[in-house]
Chain A
Amino acid sequence: MPANRLSEDNFDRMLGRALRSSSEPVPADFTERMLERLRESEQRRILARIVLQERLALAGCIVLVAAAVTAVLVFPDTAAELLQRAVGGFKAQGGAFVDRIPQTIEAFCGQWQFYSILAIVFGFAVYSLVGLFVGDRLRVA
């Protein structure tokens, strides 16, 4: 008997015995039908998650392209400069890498809004591409 019970007399014992000795009718195949329903609901949930991930991946790709085009149109000088720097950077191959750090910080401080948008777009793009190409393997795992 659990704690926190009231004191009992013969009437309580009779009541308990009578109520415990009955069984409640339940449809015979209730468990099977319940499991079937459970499987269906799980499948629906998995399907909904996959659809959502695919949509996000697609949206990511579209946003990435749109953002790149917008960036080139709205900030043509910055985009050109960035590309030149990147090309220059590859050419120099680490020669003056350390020297350019203060310059990079200065450039970032000057246009932090642009770089923030770029970082968000880049993050979203990476997430979308990972979802698109290795998402299946992650889902199976």
Chain B
Amino acid sequence: MADNIWNQRQKDIWLRLLRSGDHRAFAEFIDKYKETVFLCCRKLGLRDDEVEDVASETFLAAYKGLSRYSGRAELSTWLWSIAYRQAVTYLRKNRRQWQLDAEPDQQIAGSRQQEPAAALQGKETEKIVWAAVERLPRLWAMAVILYYREEKSIADIAKIMRAKENTVKTYLFRARERLKETLAAVFGEDRDAS
């Protein structure tokens, strides 16, 4: 993770600059975490035209809240929780029918059709895994992304998603089972085809 590159001293100086409202330090902060924030917004079901607005609101909220950031949680965890809250609030306000635990309509087969049915390696595997994750209920998908991609602990995920640790474990367990099933089916099909 990029966090490990920063040594503690540099990190402290950078944090001090961030808290003081230094724009250059904040530009670095945006560059470092913009992908994370966009990922959070997209995976929670925001449309492309909404993602940028919510991402901007997230960074504005982070800028205002940085002076209160205690440093107890990792900076990325703190930002994830803001992004998550902003996205969920936006969705609740703007889409009455929207439900966090709803399953998206996308079908893994649909995304597979765009790709040649070649050997499942490298980028191909990556796409299939992402397609399978996107088919999960949104809360499960979010827990999977935070756990496997961002390497967050269960406690951190619980804080970000404002859920109990046992609930997060349940999401992860169910998501893992579903992914195993889905991916086994897809990989199995492909092996049969080749």
Contacts and interface: CB of A to CB of B under 8 A. Distances in A.
Contact of A26 (B34, B172, B176, B179): B34
A2 B156 contact: yes
B38 interface: yes
Given A34-B56, A34-B59, A5 B149 contact: no
B148 interface: yes
A111 interface: no
A38 B60 contact: yes
Contact of B149 (A11, A14, A20, A27): A20
Given A2-B151, A5-B154, A31-B34, A19 B145 contact: yes
Interface size class of A (residues with CB under 8 A): 20 to 34
Interface of A: 1-6, 11-12, 14-16, 18-27, 30-31, 33-35, 37-39, 41
Interface in B17-45: 23, 26-27, 30-31, 34-36, 38-39, 42
Contacts of A12: 148, 176
10 cross-chain pairs, A with B, having the tightest CB-CB distances, nearest first: A18-B129, A4-B153, A19-B149, A2-B153, A24-B35, A16-B148, A24-B39, A18-B126, A31-B30, A24-B38
Interface in B68-124: none
Given A2-B151, A18-B129, 14 more contacts: A2-B153, A4-B155, A6-B154, A12-B148, A18-B125, A18-B126, A18-B130, A19-B149, A21-B126, A24-B39, A25-B38, A30-B34, A31-B30, A31-B34
